[in-house]
């Protein structure tokens, strides 16, 4: 059998039944995050016809990202390079550089390791891996089927390790005075990769899809698209996702009727943290720097109208 771990009731379950049971509903297994995004833009019945329109895109493209147990613990992800990592050696803790990077290298893992953007994350420079911050349930799931990664009950927080910098309890005045108005990333992250104008078509083999998009490294701060108890910040770092209203035009007309209801500038806790950044060098580096905030000039004709709600009023008045 080419991919024995693809059967979650098969050989892995013989010894790791508790893990395979929770993994069945994990986002790594179901890739439901992609489905959720498509259903938002396309409507609740957008995927009901599996061989037409968005259903075709989902089955031919999104489902290719589905990961098996083996694609982390013994081999590289098939969608990246495939092949055994080190003959038939099984890794209890997968090697980040050959597994996490394989699927997430264009953004978070690439930024973390310094292959995308301007410099790598300070935690990577200290020898830390993804598993040092992400709980194992972020990979294996909990047995509950979540629609997005934001619904996971345990997600990394800067305060997990830096509790002494909690707003109101910090020895740094700047942390106390900003409170929860800012996410930590607003001051401590760097430019990240944003993608624009993605267009998808059926590949020459007729069995998969091909796509093209424009990629840019930039840094933008905007209003939080969805304030929650876990993420109460008013200002956050944003990343542009490549979806445009006509991204799937080759598969049908008007496949994203709800496109303008949801922003395609998204809240993004980038993985390229540094203690000192260009925007925290001084108060004026942020408060007097309109260029780092999302502006009307950043929005394209093909962008969602909902992005307008994320544009903050700048410049800011210093009142501290």
The 10s digit of each residue's pLDDT in 17-69 is 999 999 999 999 999 999 999 999 999 888 886 657 888 888 887 777 889 99
Residue 206 lies in a domain: yes
Residue 47 lies in a domain: no
User: 167 with 238, same domain?
Assistant: yes
- How far apart CA 265 and CA 140 sit, in angstroms, is 28
Place 167 in a pLDDT band, splitting at 50, 70 and 90. Answer: very high
Is the pLDDT confidence value at 320 over 50?
Answer: no
Give the whole-number percent of the chain exceeding pLDDT 90.
Answer: 79
User: 268 with 298, same domain?
Assistant: yes
pLDDT at 50: 62
Residue 205, judged by CB atoms within 10 A of its CB (0-12, 13-18, 19+), counts as exposed
Is the pLDDT confidence value at 319 over 60?
Answer: no
- pLDDT tens readout for residues 197-231: 999 988 887 777 888 899 999 999 999 999 999 99
Domain span at residue 200 reads 162-320
**The domain boundary residue, chosen from 117, 146, 175:** 146
Residue 215 lies in a domain: yes
Contact 266, 239 (CB under 8 A): yes
Place 130 in a pLDDT band, splitting at 50, 70 and 90. Answer: very high
pLDDT at 134: 97
User: 102 with 176, same domain?
Assistant: no
* pTM for the model: 0.91
**The domain boundary residue, chosen from 101, 120, 146:** 146
- Strand 209-218 and strand 192-202: the pairing is antiparallel
**CA dihedral of residues 238, 239, 241, 245 (deg, nearest 10):** 40
Give the whole-number percent of the chain exceeding pLDDT 70.
Answer: 97
In the chain, the N- to C-terminal Cα span, in Å, equals 65
**The domain boundary residue, chosen from 146, 172, 202:** 146
Residue 152 lies in a domain: no
User: 109 with 243, same domain?
Assistant: no
Is the pLDDT confidence value at 150 over 60?
Answer: yes
User: 121 with 229, same domain?
Assistant: no
Tokens of 4: 């024995």
Residue closest to 303 by CA, chosen among 185, 206, 200, 197: 197
pLDDT at 316: 65
Average confidence score pLDDT of the chain: 92
Is the pLDDT confidence value at 136 over 70?
Answer: yes
- pLDDT tens readout for residues 252-282: 999 999 999 999 999 999 999 999 999 999 9
Number of domains observed in the structure of the chain: 2
pLDDT at 318: 54
Is the pLDDT confidence value at 89 over 80?
Answer: yes
User: 305 with 177, same domain?
Assistant: yes
Is the pLDDT confidence value at 190 over 70?
Answer: yes
Read off φ and ψ for residue 159, nearest 5 degrees.
-75, -10
Q: Give the chain's length.
A: 320
- How far apart CA 73 and CA 170 sit, in angstroms, is 40
- pLDDT tens readout for residues 286-309: 999 999 999 999 999 999 999 999
User: 105 with 212, same domain?
Assistant: no
């Amino acid at each position: 059998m080419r991919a024995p771990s693809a059967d979650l009731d098969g050989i892995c379950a013989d010894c790791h039944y508790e893990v395979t049971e929770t993994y069945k509903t994990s986002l790594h297994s179901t890739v439901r995050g992609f489905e959720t995004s498509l259903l938002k833009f396309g409507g609740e019945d957008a995927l009901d016809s599996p061989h037409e329109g968005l259903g075709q895109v989902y089955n031919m493209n999104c489902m290719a990202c589905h990961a098996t147990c083996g694609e982390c613990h013994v081999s590289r992800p098939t969608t990246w390079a495939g092949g055994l990592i080190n003959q038939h050696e099984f890794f209890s803790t997968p090697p980040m550089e050959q597994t996490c990077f394989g699927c997430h290298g264009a953004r978070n893992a690439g930024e973390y390791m310094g292959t995308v953007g301007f410099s790598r994350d300070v935690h990577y420079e200290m020898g830390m891996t993804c598993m040092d911050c992400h709980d194992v349930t972020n990979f294996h799931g909990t047995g509950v089927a979540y629609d997005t990664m934001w619904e996971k009950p345990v997600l990394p927080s800067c305060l997990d390790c830096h509790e002494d910098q909690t707003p109101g309890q910090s020895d740094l005045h700047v942390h106390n005075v900003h409170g929860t108005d800012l996410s930590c990333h607003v001051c401590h992250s760097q430019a990240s990769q944003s993608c624009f104008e993605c267009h998808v078509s059926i590949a020459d083999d007729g069995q998969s899809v091909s796509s093209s998009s424009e990629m840019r490294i930039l840094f933008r701060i905007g209003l939080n698209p969805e304030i929650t108890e876990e993420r109460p910040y008013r200002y956050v770092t944003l990343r542009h996702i490549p979806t445009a209203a006509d991204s799937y035009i080759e598969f049908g007309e008007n496949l994203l009727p709800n496109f303008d209801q949801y922003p395609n500038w998204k809240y993004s806790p980038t993985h390229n943290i540094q203690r000192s950044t260009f925007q925290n060098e001084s108060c004026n580096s942020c408060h007097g720097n309109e260029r780092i905030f999302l502006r009307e000039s950043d929005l394209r004709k093909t962008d969602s109208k909902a992005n307008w709600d994320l544009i903050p009023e700048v410049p800011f008045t210093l009142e501290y």
